[in-house]
Amino acid sequence: MASHRRPKPPSRTRVTVLTATAAAAVALSAQSAHADPRPSKAEAKAEVDKLYEEAEQATEKFNGAKEQHDKLQKQVDELQDRVARGQEELNKLRDGLGSLATAQYRSGSIDPTLQLLLSSDPDTYLEKASTLNQLSAKQADTLRLIAAKQRALAQQRKEATTKLADLESTRKALGERQREIQGKLAEAQKVLNAFSEKERAEITGSDKGADGAKGTGGKSGGDSAGTGGSSSHPNVPAGSGRGGAALGAAQSQLGKPYHYGATGMASWDCSGLTQWAYGQAGVSLPRISQDQANAGTRIYSQSQLQPGDLVIFYGDQHHVGLYAGNGQVLHAPRTGTVVRYEAMGNMPFQFGVRVG
């Protein structure tokens, strides 16, 4: 006869283990379903290129704010120096009248009008003819001079206060631009961290890993299709005039790393390099690329470019380099790269600028 005993129920421990295992499996499955897969190299390149371009746009805004900040700082320093010198001159004039008042007091013949020394507004007294009649010509001239000095000092202090407020505003703008740049670079690095160092170099088209290893001086062998990579040194034709001299100066900086806001000599950003290069040729260029775009005669046909001409890229003109001949630009590209030659076609060319 078959046994009709009921199967033994599972122990509480076994039920707990099974439940936990099932829950973990469901959680892992849900995680898998919602986890973002690693992007392809093409997708990563598109995202990183976009972030680097936005970082460079912010860099030129940073450079503009920095230039304005430095200009305002110089103006504030000059105003404060003028106020200090004016106050010193005013104190000497007051001391002179004070000595005269002391002498008159001792002789018992103090002129009551010298109470002007106690006033912060000598003009009030000078407006009264009766007061002026009691003053010697020298005393009246001195008081007029004091009044003029006080007016000038008041105006200079007011101007300095306004400039200080403007200076504080530019400091805030600098901080905002810096945070924006760093945020874009951090986003790009987050994308790149999913790849090996070799893959990162392929994605960024850099001469070094995006984590900061030293570059090779721009000798990356040749253009890599779709990567925006640097080209090998082109056969650069000899330049002439100031443009040729600027190109020669820039060539001495090949291999130095890009860093936003940098003006040399250890590192450069795009407009910092071109400004310095032309400075070596005896030409003073503005600091930012948008202003450099207006520093000479514009040339819209690439076939008319000459070595050393400035070349402007992107619709908002946020990138600049030096034409190196044979369809090449010498420039400081972006974070993770070094000063190098690159094919002009890797970026949207806008126009060239012939300086001087």
Q: Write out pLDDT tens, residues 308-351.
A: 999 999 999 999 999 999 999 999 999 889 999 999 999 999 99
State residue 212's pLDDT score: 36
Whole-angstrom distance, CA of residue 280 vs CA of residue 353: 17
Q: Write out pLDDT tens, residues 133-171.
A: 555 666 677 778 888 888 888 898 899 899 999 999 999
State residue 52's pLDDT score: 92
- 9 or 323: which carries more pLDDT confidence? 323
**Stretch 13-18: mean pLDDT, rounded?**
48
pLDDT at residue 247 above 80?
A: yes
Q: Write out pLDDT tens, residues 71-111.
A: 999 999 998 898 898 888 888 877 776 665 555 545 455 45
Q: β-pairing, 319-325 with 340-343?
A: unpaired
pLDDT confidence of 211, banded at 50, 70, 90?
very low
Q: Residue 331 in contact with residue 322, Cβ under 8 Å?
A: yes
- 233 or 128: which carries more pLDDT confidence? 233
State residue 143's pLDDT score: 76
- Full-model pTM: 0.65
pLDDT at residue 17 above 60?
A: no
CA distances to 131, 133, 140, 142, 143 from 137, rounded to whole Å, are: 12, 9, 5, 9, 10
pLDDT confidence of 8, banded at 50, 70, 90?
low
Instruction: Choose among 340, 332, 318: nearest CA to 59.
Output: 318
Whole-angstrom distance, CA of residue 184 vs CA of residue 174: 16
Most confident of 28-42, 55-69, 97-111, 192-206: 55-69
Q: Write out pLDDT tens, residues 48-77.
A: 999 999 999 999 999 999 999 999 999 999
State residue 162's pLDDT score: 92
- 31 or 279: which carries more pLDDT confidence? 279
State residue 356's pLDDT score: 79
State residue 82's pLDDT score: 87
Tell me what percent of the residues of the chain surpass a pLDDT of 90.
52
Mean pLDDT for all residues in the chain: 79
DSSP 284: -
3-class DSSP state of 213:
coil
Residues acting as catalytic residues: 270, 319, 331
- CB neighbours of residue 5 within 10 Å: 6
- 12 or 355: which carries more pLDDT confidence? 355
**What structural domains does the chain harbor?**
41-192 (no CATH), 211-220+229-354 (3.90.1720.10)
